[in-house]
């Protein structure tokens, strides 16, 4: 299946989930971006269908602010080849994306793992095993770090809570060094760049004897200086627009990032709030005593020199109905280069919004000028994306 997962882009699962972009894949499964969620397709083993659906049903009932929520799942339509699908909360970024560029600092690792340990302690308290602790399953959703939950299950089949602790130790080493631990025969060899303060904890997590590995609460106490926060119920959130009303059982998951804050951590950079202007105080000018103001030359307007349209694949365009409107606010320096860009109107598709934002960052301008000096400026770029093409309306809004 892995060689053909890319061909699924543009298809619609159960007349409800248009697959816009392949996020990641393996031999037996693949994750796709849809309009409102991440949809994971899993090759169906006939003897394992009911067991897998039952796992997702239980995972959908879990409630913790640092667990990815499951919305819907079941068996795909017959023409899909008997695949299973599960729709879940979309994670914009992953720890794996960070580690492609750099390791975490010790402080960042502690801050990032705090929410992960809370979620894992909750799962273990519910009598479950996560089974897939790794960097790709530690995600940013909005301003929160969350742990993927679609693989959660009861212990057994070679999976135990002690195995989660071992995987946690491997992930901690990778987060701090961009390397996995290795073995020389039976001897554990840790990367030389691993900070010494983590070595004893990691060795405990990777102890070959499962019974000697620390519990999650002990890992949290040693790593953070406190046990995990008790279970917290996730606050009510609006359902995604395409979420079906049926539960998971009604049919019979990943992504480069910038250096940011953890908790919304290194996994998301919160938008910089606009500075508030102080209230204006209006006073009446004294009569006829002030000198006349000097004439000020009006700046010449800036111009677009080079525009870039988002590169939307044909398969993704085929899923568009009507017009998708995306607006980007771009800050331009005195040389005419875009120094920052942010979404002003994101539209209904996170995928299209991401492509549009990437395109806007590559625009170039002839800057406005006043008294012989070039000036920085700000532009609004309004994109209209349809099945047939993309139009853009640039407007200089300040200088």
Query: Tens digit of pLDDT for each residue in 3-49?
Result: 588 888 999 888 889 999 998 888 888 999 998 799 999 987 777 88
Note the pLDDT tens digit of each residue in 322-343. 889 999 999 999 899 999 999 9
For the chain, the first-to-last Cα distance in angstroms comes to 53
Work out the percent of the chain whose per-residue pLDDT is above 90: 50
Neighbours of 116 (CB within 10 A): 24
pLDDT at 258 over 90: no
pLDDT at 292 over 70: no
- Ranking 202-206, 216-220, 224-228, 239-243 by mean pLDDT, the lowest is 239-243
Note the pLDDT tens digit of each residue in 93-112. 899 989 999 999 999 999 99
Please state which CATH number belongs to domain 2-89.
3.30.200.20
Six-digit token string for 337: 């280069």
Q: Which residues contact 76 (CB under 8 A, 6 or more apart)?
A: 13, 14, 41, 82, 83, 84, 85
Neighbours of 111 (CB within 10 A): 18
pLDDT at 309 over 80: yes
Work out the percent of the chain whose per-residue pLDDT is above 70: 79
- What is d(CA 346, CA 373) in angstroms, rounded to the nearest whole number? 34
Neighbours of 58 (CB within 10 A): 18
Six-digit token string for 100: 């492609």
Q: For 249-260, what is the mean pLDDT? A: 29
Q: For 343-364, what is the mean pLDDT? A: 90
Q: What ranges do the domains of the chain cover? A: 2-89, 93-224, 303-398
Residue 93 pLDDT: 86
Q: Taking the C-alpha atoms of 87, 91, 97 and 102 in order, what is their torsion angle to the nearest 10 degrees?
A: -150
The fourth-level CATH superfamily of domain 303-398 is TonB (3.30.2420.10)
pLDDT at 285 over 60: no
- What is d(CA 10, CA 18) in angstroms, rounded to the nearest whole number? 6
Q: Taking the C-alpha atoms of 56, 57, 60 and 62 in order, what is their torsion angle to the nearest 10 degrees?
A: -100
**Which of 227, 226, 228, 177 lies closest to 198 in space, CA to CA?**
177
Sheet containing strand 338-345, strands side by side: 338-345, 324-332, 377-385, 390-398
Six-digit token string for 350: 């996170």
Where would I find the H helices in 311-393? 314-317, 350-360
Sign of the CA dihedral with 211 first, then 216, 220, and 221 last: negative
- Fold of the domain spanning 93-224: Transferase(Phosphotransferase); domain 1 (1.10.510)
- What is d(CA 282, CA 288) in angstroms, rounded to the nearest whole number? 18
- Ranking 138-152, 241-255, 354-368 by mean pLDDT, the lowest is 241-255
**At what angle are helices 106-125 and 216-224 packed, to 10 degrees?**
160
Question: Residue 385, SS3?
Answer: strand
- What is d(CA 148, CA 132) in angstroms, rounded to the nearest whole number? 8
- What is d(CA 122, CA 111) in angstroms, rounded to the nearest whole number? 18
Note the pLDDT tens digit of each residue in 42-88. 987 777 888 889 999 999 999 899 999 999 999 886 555 568 999 99
- What is d(CA 231, CA 122) in angstroms, rounded to the nearest whole number? 6
pLDDT at 233 over 60: no
Whether the CB-CB separation of 113 and 223 falls below 8 Å is answered with yes
């Amino acid at each position: 299946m892995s060689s053909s997962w890319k061909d699924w882009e543009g298809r619609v699962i159960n007349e409800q989930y248009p697959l816009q972009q392949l996020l990641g894949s393996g031999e037996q499964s693949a994750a796709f971006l849809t309009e409102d969620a991440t949809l994971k397709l899993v090759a169906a083993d006939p003897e394992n269908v009911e067991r897998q659906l039952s796992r997702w049903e239980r995972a959908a009932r879990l409630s913790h602010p640092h667990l990815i929520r499951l919305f819907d799942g079941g068996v795909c339509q017959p023409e899909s080849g008997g695949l299973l699908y599960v729709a879940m909360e979309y994670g914009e970024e992953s720890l794996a994306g960070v580690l492609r560029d750099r390791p975490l600092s010790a402080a960042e690792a502690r801050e990032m793992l705090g929410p992960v340990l809370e979620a894992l302690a909750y799962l273990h308290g519910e009598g479950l095993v996560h089974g897939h602790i790794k960097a790709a399953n530690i995600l940013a959703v909005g301003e929160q770090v969350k742990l993927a939950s679609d693989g959660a299950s009861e212990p057994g089949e070679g999976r135990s809570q002690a195995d989660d602790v071992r995987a946690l130790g491997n992930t901690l080493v990778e987060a701090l060094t961009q390397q996995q631990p290795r073995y020389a025969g039976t001897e554990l060899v840790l990367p030389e760049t691993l900070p010494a303060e983590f070595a004893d904890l990691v060795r405990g997590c990777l102890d070959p004897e499962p019974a000697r590995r620390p519990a999650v609460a002990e890992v949290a106490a040693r790593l953070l200086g406190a046990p995990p926060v008790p279970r917290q119920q996730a606050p009510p959130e609006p359902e995604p627009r395409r979420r079906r009303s049926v539960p998971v059982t009604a049919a019979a998951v990943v992504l480069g990032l910038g250096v940011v804050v953890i908790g919304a951590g290194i996994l998301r950079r919160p938008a910089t709030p606009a500075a508030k202007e102080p209230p204006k105080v209006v006073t009446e000018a004294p009569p006829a005593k002030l000198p006349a103001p000097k004439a000020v030359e009006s700046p010449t307007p800036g111009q677009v020199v080079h525009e870039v349209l988002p590169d939307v694949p044909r398969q993704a365009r085929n899923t568009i109905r009507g017009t998708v409107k995306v607006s980007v606010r771009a800050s331009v320096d005195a040389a005419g280069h875009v120094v920052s860009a942010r979404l002003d109107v994101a539209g209904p598709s996170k995928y299209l919004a991401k492509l549009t934002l990437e395109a806007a960052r590559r625009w170039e301008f002839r800057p406005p000028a006043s008294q012989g000096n070039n000036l920085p400026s700000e532009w609004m770029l309004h994109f209209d994306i349809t099945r047939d093409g993309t139009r853009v309306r640039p407007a200089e809004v300040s200088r």
